[in-house]
Amino acid sequence: MKRLTLSMQGKLNYAISPFNKPTLRIKPGETVVVETEDAFSGQIRSKGDRRDRKAMPFVNPQTGPIYVEGAEKGDTLSVDVKDIKPAIGQGATKIPTSWYWYLGDLGENPALSRFLELKFPHGTRICPIEENRVYFSDSIVLPYEPMIGTIGTAPEIEAISSYLLGSHGGNMDLPDVCIGNKLFLPVRVDGALLHLGDVHAVQGEGEICGTAIEMPADVTLTIDLIKGKAISWPRIESQEHLMAVAVSGTGRTLEEAIRIAFMELILWLEEDYGIDRWDAYQLCTQVGKVRLGNLWTVAAAFPKKYLSGTSLKP
């Protein structure tokens, strides 16, 4: 088993890019342990800490890229998440200073909020992680449900900030990119160039505060390659569901992203499982589910128990 440590990595990347030099090369089917830093670049370790944006203006540092031998445009990368362990036994969260990204413009009147000098508290919170529990406070204990917040393959001709997201993956913040699930990503450049970071100890759907319980982590992945199979958007397979991912963004609403995700899911059901697209369309209407990552990411899900086509019993 190979290991990509932060010391081996050296400089972390703040963009998912075809121009980033690989820090590890592997063969398809290999398992690797990847050390990742938290979304705050390690700047928040105690309650009194604050982000030094002059020293580090960006978020979501990425380990990698990992070069997968034989991967080329038109293939699909399979990432099987085997384990996620906290690196320092704690995570951190805070209330964002750029709160308008998450709560809107307060009655669609940003001038009013500025006039009233409305300011949110920083709200830094350090959360110990012990025995599969996350200690939000002395009285509130959350389950340890780790996930990879930012992960993606390199786009073909541009670098994309690790704060952003798209059809390459990126800052999806989907709780389903977790232990026991497989993530499928499009390959658009030689080697795929897999980047990852921004691991969360636990996160609710929507990530409404903009930060989950952010933690540095040791992530164990088995990375494989599906030759000659091209996908347009990321996909996820869990024990119970097939999930197609899409995102909103410039010129695309969350409603449109949901439609794209379901269309991708329907085509997946037809191409790989032989379900006629119109039957799949109707089935998704009856049993489909929508998972929300951050406020810009959705996964349309189909229960695998209906793939046999023999019964629609729950």
Taking the chain, what is the end-to-end CA distance rounded to the nearest angstrom? 40
Longest CA span, the chain: 62
C-beta separation of 103 from 295 below 8 A: no
**How far apart are alpha carbons 181 and 96 in whole angstroms?**
30
DSSP 3-state assignment of 226? Answer: strand
User: How do residues 90-118 score in pLDDT, each as one tens digit?
Assistant: 999 998 765 555 555 544 556 666 676 66
**How far apart are alpha carbons 240 and 3 in whole angstroms?**
30
Per-residue tokens: 274:
């032989």
Domain residue ranges of the chain, discontinuous segments joined by +: 2-39+55-85+146-227, 240-306
> Is the pLDDT confidence value at 310 over 50?
no
Helices (H), 21-103: 100-103
> Is the pLDDT confidence value at 159 over 50?
yes
Q: Please tell me the CATH superfamily of domain 2-39+55-85+146-227, with its number.
A: Acetamidase/Formamidase-like domains (2.60.120.580)
User: How do residues 125-142 score in pLDDT, each as one tens digit?
Assistant: 999 999 999 999 999 999
pLDDT, mean of residues 164-191? 98
pLDDT at 251: 82
C-beta separation of 225 from 71 below 8 A: yes
Sign of the Cα torsion 260, 266, 271, 273 reads: positive
**How far apart are alpha carbons 197 and 20 in whole angstroms?**
15
User: How do residues 211-247 score in pLDDT, each as one tens digit?
Assistant: 999 999 999 999 999 999 999 999 999 999 999 999 9
pLDDT band at 311 (very low <50, low <70, confident <90, very high): very low
C-beta separation of 91 from 214 below 8 A: yes
